[in-house]
Copies of this chain bind each other. A is one copy, B any other.
Amino acid sequence: MEQTAWKVGELARRTGLTVRTLHHWEERGLIVPSRRTAAGHRLYDDRDVRRVYEVVALRELGLSLEAIAEVLAPDRDRLEGILSAHLTQVEARLVALRDLRTTLAALVAGLRNSTTPGPSDLMGLIDEVSKMTETFNNYFTDEQLAALEARRQELGEDTIRAAEREWPELIAAVQAEIDAGTDPSSPRARALAARWGELLESFHGGDPGLREGLYRMRDENADEVLSRGGPTDEQIDYVRRAGVTGV
Contact = CB atoms under 8 A, between A and B. Distances in A.
A153 interface: yes
B112 A80 contact: yes
A49 B98 CA distance: 30
Contacts of A103: 61
A175 to B, nearest CB: 28
A107 B153 contact: no
Interface residues of A, number: 45
A84 B143 CA distance: 27
A103 B90 CA distance: 11
- Taken together, the copies of this chain in the complex come to 2
Contact of A86 (B90, B104, B143): B104
A63 to B, nearest CB: 10
A54 interface: yes
Given A76-B120, A142-B153, A101 B90 contact: yes
A83 B98 CA distance: 16
Nearest to A57: B126
A193 to B, nearest CB: 29
B87 A101 contact: yes
Interface in A73-127: 76, 79-80, 83-84, 86-87, 90-91, 93-94, 97-98, 100-101, 103-105, 107-108, 111-112, 118-120, 122-123, 126-127
23 contacts: A57-B122, A57-B127, A61-B103, A62-B104, A71-B122, A76-B119, A79-B122, A80-B111, A86-B104, A87-B104, A87-B105, A90-B97, A90-B100, A90-B104, A93-B97, A94-B101, A142-B153, A143-B150, A143-B153, A146-B146, A147-B147, A147-B150, A149-B150
